[in-house]
Amino acid sequence: MTAKYNFEANDFSRRDALTLAGAASFAFATSHYGLSSAFAGLSQREKALHIRLPDQLATQTPKIEGKLPNNLRGTYYKNGPALRQGFKRTYPHSFDGDGFIQAFRFDGQTVQHQGQFVHTEKYNAESKAGDYFVETFSHKWAGSPPARSADETNTANTNIVHHGNRLMALWEAGSAWQVDPDNLDSMTKLVWHDDLAMAPFSAHPRIDDDGSLWNFGQVQWSQEMILYHINPQGKLHKYKLLDMPNTSMIHDFAITEKSIILMLPPLTWELDKAKNNASFLNAHEWHENRPVEILVINKNDLSVVRRHQLPNAFHFHIGGAFETVDGTIELDLYHYKNADIVFNLYLNNDEKDHSQSPTRPQHSRVTLSPNIYDGKIERIHNMSNEFPHMAPSSNSHRSQHGWSIGLDMETGLFRYALGVNLETGKVDRYDYGADCMLEEHIFVADQDRPVINGVTQGWLIGLHLDVQQSQTKLAVLDAYDLAAGPQAVVTLPYGLPPGLHGNFVMAS
């Protein structure tokens, strides 16, 4: 183990430092949640993002059109911010809401659905108060007391991951919350080690070929990053602190057979702005003349072994990554020309001009050659898309196929389910229609069918909101024939606000 973790911040009290740590996650929660609607007109945004939910949605068996695959068995868990019924206040970024977990349970013939908020410290404190009062990344309520720890502002609203026999609701800047997989009750905050209590544990972990889990946590105020390696049984194997002088917004990272790849866009947290009582969002500055910095880290000892640069850009998501025998690294990147998307997510026209559309995300291939400082980036196809998901592949093999959701350039809504052959760039797509707002779609492997020609068979599943009918639906498509349309559509009797990330857990 490394030396004891130090939560004290230079020039800040411990209380102020942890307050800022808690705010850190909101930048990513809002940016992700907003990606499903930030490109759309205000009316569509309001229909989706102002939906308020009760503490629980009771288990029900929703309507199914078409026929579910008999061997689609397991639970699709989904997480995302939601506003609460009974509260008068609304965040300037409605995406700042508390984490709301959904479970779609498939038995091969029917689906059951339920939902529940994660009962974090923030959620419980505001339940007692009867309204929102905890400051968020973009807003400080008048009279709100400063948070004493990051977990007082932890919303657990960004991802939900099953690992080591645990179901974890994740956020960027605080503890993972363990959730009961059967009834979605909140159980406990996870402490990986006594020295890491309340330390940031990010929301996009990567699970390795051996079943272990890698993750990071940013500590902006002390300009450090924690790297975590959790064994397959869910116990901390090792961790290390890295010096991180440019504390960029980082949501995602990549792993290969040998390496961890961290990409640092030039959107940095500035101490002077934070000291001047700026919100966490407004304490960040975009540096249009700086490159993207890339760190390649050895998995064995967690040391930085290489550094690279790419031209100035911003990104949220990385797809898959692969490292050749000679050390060349290839990865799929979904990037923007700048960080305007982060600052384009306000719902209130008095605070933000919605007529200015953010830059469009592009799917590109990044190549990092050993001993060459500058990386190469080439666009794979011409559609604008986000929320990547790759076909199952070991870290020692290239992923041959990937999926994402594509943007309708006229309506500003994510409208298309996309499948991409990563070798040829050929795109297969299904058009949901102009009145649908898509969420992340994920690949689910068919456990009963063999791999065919090295390709794992399976389905693409994902949620969308029918804006006109105000209903949330889940579609099941053949992952390699999206153009054929859904095999089945599950329709809920109500609309839910767009969520962020989710994962499928196979039935045992």
Average pLDDT over residues 133-158: 83
For 181-213, what is each residue's pLDDT tens digit?
999 999 999 999 999 999 999 999 999 999 999
- Asked whether residue 342 carries a pLDDT value surpassing 60, the answer given is yes
Write out the two tokens for 51: 């939906």
For 48-63, what is each residue's pLDDT tens digit?
777 899 999 999 999 9
Task: Compute CA 447 distance to the chain's CA centroid, rounded to the nearest angstrom.
Answer: 26
Average pLDDT over residues 335-363: 66
d(CA 122, CA 127): 8
pLDDT range class, residue 85, cuts 50, 70, 90: very high
Q: Is residue 455 part of a domain?
A: yes
Residue 255 identity (one-letter amino acid) = I
Nearest to 25 by CA among 198, 204, 171: 171
Range of weakest confidence among 34-48, 82-96, 382-396, 449-463: 34-48
d(CA 119, CA 139): 22
- Asked whether residue 41 carries a pLDDT value surpassing 60, the answer given is no
d(CA 378, CA 439): 26
Q: Is residue 7 part of a domain?
A: no
Backbone CA torsion sign across 189, 192, 203, 288: positive
pLDDT range class, residue 147, cuts 50, 70, 90: confident
More confident residue, 284 or 349: 284
Q: Is residue 9 part of a domain?
A: no
Query: What's the pTM value of the predicted model, to 2 decimals?
Result: 0.90
Average pLDDT over residues 462-481: 94
Where do the H-state alpha helices sit in 163-312? 271-275
- What is the number of other CB atoms lying within 10 angstroms of the CB of residue 71? 14
Q: Is 251 annotated as a binding residue?
A: yes
Residue with tokens 């026929």: 67
Write out the two tokens for 358: 């953010």
Structure confidence at residue 411 (pLDDT): 76
Show the 3-state SS of 26-89.
HHHHHHHHHHCCCCCCHHHHHHHHCCEECCEEEEECCEEEECCCCCCEEEEEEEEEEEECCCCC
128 by DSSP, 3-state: which?
Answer: helix
Q: Is 441 annotated as a binding residue?
A: no
**CA dist 287 to 244, 253, 361, Å?**
17, 21, 19
Residue 148 phi, psi (nearest 5): -90, -15
d(CA 164, CA 429): 35
**CA dist 389 to 398, 404, 442, 460, Å?**
14, 6, 6, 10
Q: Is 389 annotated as a binding residue?
A: no
Q: Is residue 2 part of a domain?
A: no
Q: Is 204 annotated as a binding residue?
A: yes
Structure confidence at residue 230 (pLDDT): 98
Average pLDDT over residues 433-446: 94
Q: In residues, how long is the chain?
A: 508
Backbone CA torsion sign across 25, 149, 190, 6: positive
Structure confidence at residue 354 (pLDDT): 36
Structure confidence at residue 303 (pLDDT): 96
**Cβ contact 272:284 at 8 Å:** no
E-state strands within 164-245? 166-170, 177-179, 186-189, 206-207, 213-219, 224-230, 236-243
Task: Compute CA 56 distance to the chain's CA centroid, rounded to the nearest angstrom.
Answer: 23
- Asked whether residue 139 carries a pLDDT value surpassing 80, the answer given is no
d(CA 286, CA 275): 18
Q: Is residue 5 part of a domain?
A: no
Q: Is residue 4 part of a domain?
A: no
Nearest to 438 by CA among 446, 429, 427, 428: 429
pLDDT range class, residue 19, cuts 50, 70, 90: very low
More confident residue, 173 or 193: 193
For 246-265, what is each residue's pLDDT tens digit?
778 899 999 999 999 999 99
Instruction: Provide the residue range defining the domain that includes 77.
Output: 14-506
- What is the number of other CB atoms lying within 10 angstroms of the CB of residue 30? 27
Which one-letter DSSP state was computed for residue 123?
Answer: H
pLDDT range class, residue 37, cuts 50, 70, 90: very low
- What is the number of other CB atoms lying within 10 angstroms of the CB of residue 182? 11
Q: Is residue 6 part of a domain?
A: no
Structure confidence at residue 70 (pLDDT): 94
- Asked whether residue 357 carries a pLDDT value surpassing 60, the answer given is no
Percent of the chain's residues with pLDDT above 90: 66
d(CA 197, CA 262): 24
Q: Is residue 322 part of a domain?
A: yes
- Asked whether residue 11 carries a pLDDT value surpassing 60, the answer given is no
d(CA 485, CA 496): 23
**Domains held by the chain: number:** 1
Nearest to 119 by CA among 143, 86, 84, 89: 84
Structure confidence at residue 182 (pLDDT): 97
Structure confidence at residue 43 (pLDDT): 60
Average pLDDT over residues 64-83: 96
d(CA 209, CA 206): 10
pLDDT range class, residue 126, cuts 50, 70, 90: very high
